[in-house]
Structure 1
């Protein structure tokens, strides 16, 4: 009969890493599919006013944003501290709002164009005269669905 030797210095086998690249690529594709990237780099500071009755927008793909506020601290030496309008990624003037709305409408399908909403993200310190001028330009562009972006007020002292 054969005798079995007991060998006390056996090593554990190495971990197989052959499936590791598959796992890494699955995780990479998951994050690529679920992460949304910010499309516009803000060049203005927007400290939105507080609102107690804020609602979230349902279809964000139908929303175009107009940002209004003072330039960021990095751009303030170059552009000053007066509130400026930002359309897409660049500063703009009131005259360009109509063109901006037309280009945003062209990006949407024919079916979704009537549901397009313009969201105004305006700094709380911006004068109302500038907001009124922007609204007049939006009327000229026939963009009548307007949303004012606001931060949710967390105060509990509002009892009505």
Structure 2
């Protein structure tokens, strides 16, 4: 007697996927903005000395990093415990610094080459003989703009 009948097939409606591309691109944009690219993987101990008069470099893309120090415990088994030089992500000899500097210069535009700076990130316990050898190699390729990277603090804290 009733004119209204109950539906036989009561399924839920399909989920609308119209906004799915918007959500995906929003997440992609977020991760592109929030992600920081790592420069180098350190294979050496790098406890930088402390200095009280420091300046921050403006253009990090014009800096060539040379690391020096004892290999970390993870790599000491393979390369020994003597202080080593690290160029980018691999151990190198002091004589490899020339080719490293020349390759870095080739990677930059010619107008930027006079502004390139070599940053020495040397562990506080590293022998100064190694630093002298590095500086000698840098002089031979005319890389005369050298920056010693340190931590900010009181310089008297370097004493042990």
Q: TM-score, normalised by structure 2?
A: 0.81
Secondary structure of the structure 2 residue equivalent to 1:58:
coil
Please say which of residues 146-155 and 104-113 is displaced more in the overlay. 146-155
Alignment RMSD: 2.2
Structure 2 spans left out of the alignment, 5+ residues: 1-12
Aligned counterparts of 2:101 and 2:48: Cα–Cα separation in 1 = 22
Aligned counterparts of 1:19 and 1:62: Cα–Cα separation in 2 = 43
Aligned counterparts of 2:20 and 2:29: Cα–Cα separation in 1 = 14
Aligned counterparts of 2:34 and 2:55: Cα–Cα separation in 1 = 24
Aligned counterparts of 2:24 and 2:57: Cα–Cα separation in 1 = 35
What count of residue pairs does the alignment treat as equivalent? 144
Aligned to 1:61: 61
Tell me by how many angstroms 1:55 deviates: 1.3
Aligned to 1:36: 36
1:115-136: CA deviation from partner (whole Å, max 9, x where unpaired) = 0000000000001111111001
Please say which of residues 145-154 and 18-27 is displaced more in the overlay. 18-27
- Would you say 1:23 and 2:23 are equivalent positions? yes
Aligned to 1:4: none
Q: TM-score, normalised by structure 1?
A: 0.81
Structure 1 spans left out of the alignment, 5+ residues: 1-12
Tell me by how many angstroms 1:21 deviates: 4.1
Aligned to 2:76: 76
1:1-160 paired onto structure 2 within 5 Å: 18-153=18-153
Secondary structure of the structure 1 residue equivalent to 2:68:
strand
Aligned counterparts of 2:153 and 2:17: Cα–Cα separation in 1 = 51
